[in-house]
Amino acid sequence: MSTSKFKNAIGEDKKEKFTHCNLSQISTDGRLIAINSSFLAMSWSNEGEIVVLDSNTPSSARQQEFKIKGHRANVLDLEFSPFCSDLLASTFDDNEILLYKIPEGGLKEHITKEVQIYRKHARKVPCVNFNPVAADVVCSGAFTGELHVWSSIKGDSFVQLKADDTPSLVTWNPNGSLIGTTTKSKTMNIFDPRTKEMIFKKVINEGIQAAKFAWTSNDTFATCSWDKIGQKNLRLWDIKNLDKEISSYKIDSSKTITTVFADRESKLLYTVGKGEATTHVFDYESGVIYKGIPYASKEPSLFQIMQERKCVDYNKLEVDRFARYVNTKNIYIISFTIPRRNPGFDPTLYPPLECGEPAMTYDEWASGKTSEPVKKDVTEIVNKFVSNEQKFEKQEVKVEKPKTSESMIKELEAKISEYTQKIKKISEENDELKKKIEARKLEKQKEEEKKIIIQEEIKEEPKQEEPKQEEPKQEEEPKKEEENVQQKVEEPEEKEEVVEQKVEEAPVEEPKEEPKVEEPPVEEPKEEPKVEEPPAEEPKEEPKPEEPPVEEPKPEEPPAEEPKEEPKPEEPPAEEPKEEPKPEEPPAEEPKEEPKPEEPPAEEPKEEQ
């Protein structure tokens, strides 16, 4: 059970309203309305214009003649400086952020010139936020996921940070030391810009819709996100312990994008969904979220923004104030008050509030100094127009003068002459390249012709020589083979024939002497078995080394067999000695030892052939 004094806060619409507010219909996560103690600014239509009205006197926006027309595209986000009532920051569908100065009393003419411009982002910027403690410190987030911290006076960036995705919201914590952002990747990132470190990154949303958050203190924040079931939850987190939320509350199961607002002085949280007519109120004073009395309206709100706490009417026990835009193109002011029987100022309901004064300068903050916001008693705060005389060091932007028709014609003629000269040069280079290509082709043709001629000569030369060399080879090979075969197989036969020839020679001369023809000793050499000694086999091993040359013609033995068959019929008598010398081979080997010196002459005929 809540014991907070603000648990019974009740919201109601004020009778007066801003009418005929033709807000831009662009889809954006930014704020299309900005309000402070002096002005209410809104993105007008889809023309990139901004209408500024007096926030204390509701009126018709259609009657406002003058507008801010410095934008070239749709406005995405608007915010007033917390220290200067007249300084308005705006972003649009470009990579630039513009700062405008609004004169006291409102616009008296169209404003087309900004006082400062920041163009360091690479893509369009959906969100911008002023530091609540240090003067002239601004943070902006782009679609690239980059967060830039820069000076509104100089327009230079102090640091550039990188989020994991496109940011949908960028805000500072109360003492301006940390930057928090929710991204489209359903995560929340918290950075320390002065150390350039990401100190917190956590997936806080499991739904499709974008999650929103608000700082409740320097170390705690509240988020509105969806779980796996599709239930919308309000949760409290502590940076020191991120494993589990401090407290959570299930709101409903609606799928609309819900914005969270925090009143750190009264410890109240407000949630409102786009297109919903109900604003939910919660109390978190004890660290546990308790639901308060919701505000219900007949008309659904398309956009809602919270006004500064110092703007409330404390005599009516007003706690917070909102500006709500509805379908009827009206902006209503919602006032949350504490119901009492005896209305009047109650100091227990109003602790010291932020008074809108900077606690430090840009240089002090950049050096690492940390300070709490300057606070005052509500009765001491005077809600009046505040304007600081600041000298903005605007970066010069080169603006080209409008070109006349004559100057344009001259420029075109000059460009044409330049292009004609370039074309001539290119044509000349092409001609040279063509000539080189043709010369190269001729060289290649000549080289190819030479190669062809050389190949033909090489082919013709072997054709003439080959038959001369091959014919003797073919004749010699069988001879050599026959000799080799005859040497191995018929050597004993040849030797026996030699012996027979010697024997026959004698009978050729001795036929006249018939008695001499019957010489028995002729048979004796054939029957010399005495020499059949086993050592006689040793010379058989000696011709074995001659076998390697015989191995080459082994596959050519078939032609060698043909000559064997021819001599067989020619020498029938020689067959008888073949059978007889088989046992007589050893005696035939005896002469082998003697004719060993005669082997070289056997090789001489091979060379002669």
Q: Is 505 exposed, middle or buried (0-12, 13-18, 19+ CB in 10 A)?
A: exposed
Q: Which pLDDT belongs to residue 278?
A: 92
Distance CA 172, CA 127 (A): 12
Residues 11-66 have pLDDT tens digits of 998 888 999 998 887 777 788 899 998 999 999 877 788 999 999 888 998 888 89
Residue with tokens 């907070």: 4
Contact 505, 558 (CB under 8 A): no
Distance CA 194, CA 178 (A): 9
Nearest residue to 186 (alpha-carbon basis) of 150, 168, 163, 211:
211
Farthest-apart Cα atoms in the chain, separation = 185
Contact 353, 309 (CB under 8 A): yes
Residue 517 pLDDT grade (very low, low, confident, very high; cuts 50, 70, 90): very low
Contact 49, 68 (CB under 8 A): yes
Distance CA 161, CA 142 (A): 11
Contact 110, 62 (CB under 8 A): no
pLDDT at 160 over 80: yes
pLDDT at 305 over 90: yes
Contact 363, 335 (CB under 8 A): no
The structure tokens listed for 431 are 């001609």
SS3 479: helix
Please state the domain extents for the chain: 10-376, 402-443
- Where is mean pLDDT largest: 69-73, 81-85, 493-497? 81-85
Residues 533-578 have pLDDT tens digits of 444 444 444 444 444 444 444 444 444 444 444 444 444 444 444 4
Residue with tokens 């014609």: 409
Distance CA 59, CA 55 (A): 9
Does the pTM exceed 0.85? Answer: no
Distance CA 228, CA 239 (A): 24
Q: Which pLDDT belongs to residue 291?
A: 92
Distance CA 257, CA 29 (A): 9
Q: Does the structural domain 10-376 have CATH classification 2.130.10.10?
A: yes
Give, for 375, the enclosing helix (H) or strand (E): strand 375-376
Q: Which pLDDT belongs to residue 90?
A: 92
* Average pLDDT value for residue range 268-286: 91
Nearest residue to 224 (alpha-carbon basis) of 273, 265, 264, 266:
273
The structure tokens listed for 335 are 């006032």
pLDDT at 528 over 50: no
Residues 379-405 have pLDDT tens digits of 888 777 777 766 777 665 444 445 567
The secondary structure of residue 389, as a DSSP letter, is -
